[in-house]
Amino acid sequence: MLYAAIFSFIFHLILHLFRAYIPGGMEAGLLKDPISAIYTPFSILLVYEAYLMIYYLRRSTTLYIAKQYEVIALILIRGLFKDMAALDLQEKFWMSQHNVAFSVDLLSVAVLFILIYWFYRLSGTLKYADFEAQEQKEMGVKLKQFVKSKHYLSLMLFLVFVVLGVQSFIDWVVPTFNHIEQANMIAVNDIFFEEFYNFLIVSDVIILLLSLLYTDNFPVIIRNSSFVISTVLLKLSFTAEGLLSQGLIVLGVAFGVGMLAIHNHYKELQNPDA
């Protein structure tokens, strides 16, 4: 994936350099500025992050949610490169609506980075080896069955991931090369991640229902329910516009972090000697 990202970055730069010789190349938003070339390798890295979500699902629900937050943060960062290429520097910075939107995106990324850090810190997954060893130690027979169920769920999600990835690639590449003057930098979100997050919501609900088969621990049930709500809010951000989109993203991640913090305090009340 890394080599593919590097190759795509160089290829995009070459297309930018020779856009004058490509029919419709001068009108293509994707080729107007060399900064836009950063958008392409970031798209590939985002797909890899989406794969990591599926990979960690079978090992830890908490890490699976953390990867969802990382993906949404990277989507915002990728959007910054698109917005950066179109900054209006001819008038006062705050007089341009586009410049204000860019500033809001910058602030949103900073806030998300802090929230993701706290999510990892609260979940104890920053040191993954210690976290996994502790999970294995606490894992009973029923929990092992739950993990096995998540393994099958991750396999089904991987199949969805592959099918959606191939379909999205074809749906984006073919029209782009047929009408390169209409090439833009937001199609990947519309044709892959918006649809993929629908399946993630279904996956989160299945995890919640499966967890009820193996535990009646109230804090765990509330935590998993909160993760579903968090994912739904992230999904809604794809269809929202302007400040509402960033607001839903920050709210979704903040809600997950907040509920995880409450869950941890609840566990301390249940196990005061732990």
Encode pLDDT of 221-260 as tens digits: 888 888 889 988 888 887 777 788 888 999 999 999 999 9
Q: Which of 22-31, 45-54, 96-105, 133-142 has the lowest mean pLDDT?
A: 133-142
Cα-Cα-Cα-Cα dihedral sign, residues 211, 207, 154, 262:
negative
φ and ψ of 87, to 5 deg: -60, 140
Instruction: Tokens for 146, please give them.
Output: 């739950």
pTM: 0.76
Q: How confident is the model at residue 274 (pLDDT cuts 50, 70, 90)?
A: low
User: Which of 32-36, 94-98, 149-153 has the highest average model confidence (pLDDT)?
Assistant: 149-153
pLDDT computed for residue 271 by the predictor: 67
pLDDT computed for residue 81 by the predictor: 74
- DSSP-based helix, strand, coil % in the chain, nearest 5: 85, 0, 15
How many CB atoms neighbour CB 31 within 10 A? 24
Q: Which domain holds residue 169?
A: 2-270
Q: Are 50 and 62 a contacting pair, CB within 8 Å? A: no
Q: List pLDDT tens digits, range 84-137.
A: 766 666 666 666 676 777 888 889 899 999 999 999 988 876 665 555 555 555
- Which is more confident, 98 or 18? 18
In total, how many domains does the chain have?
A: 1
Average pLDDT estimate for 131-160: 70
pLDDT computed for residue 251 by the predictor: 94
183: nearest Cα among 191, 192, 174: 174
Q: Kindly tell me if the per-residue pLDDT of 175 is higher than 80.
A: no
Q: How confident is the model at residue 195 (pLDDT cuts 50, 70, 90)?
A: confident
Q: Which of 71-80, 116-125, 263-272 has the lowest mean pLDDT?
A: 263-272
Q: How confident is the model at residue 47 (pLDDT cuts 50, 70, 90)?
A: confident
Q: What is the mean pLDDT of the chain?
A: 77
pLDDT computed for residue 181 by the predictor: 47
Q: How confident is the model at residue 56 (pLDDT cuts 50, 70, 90)?
A: confident
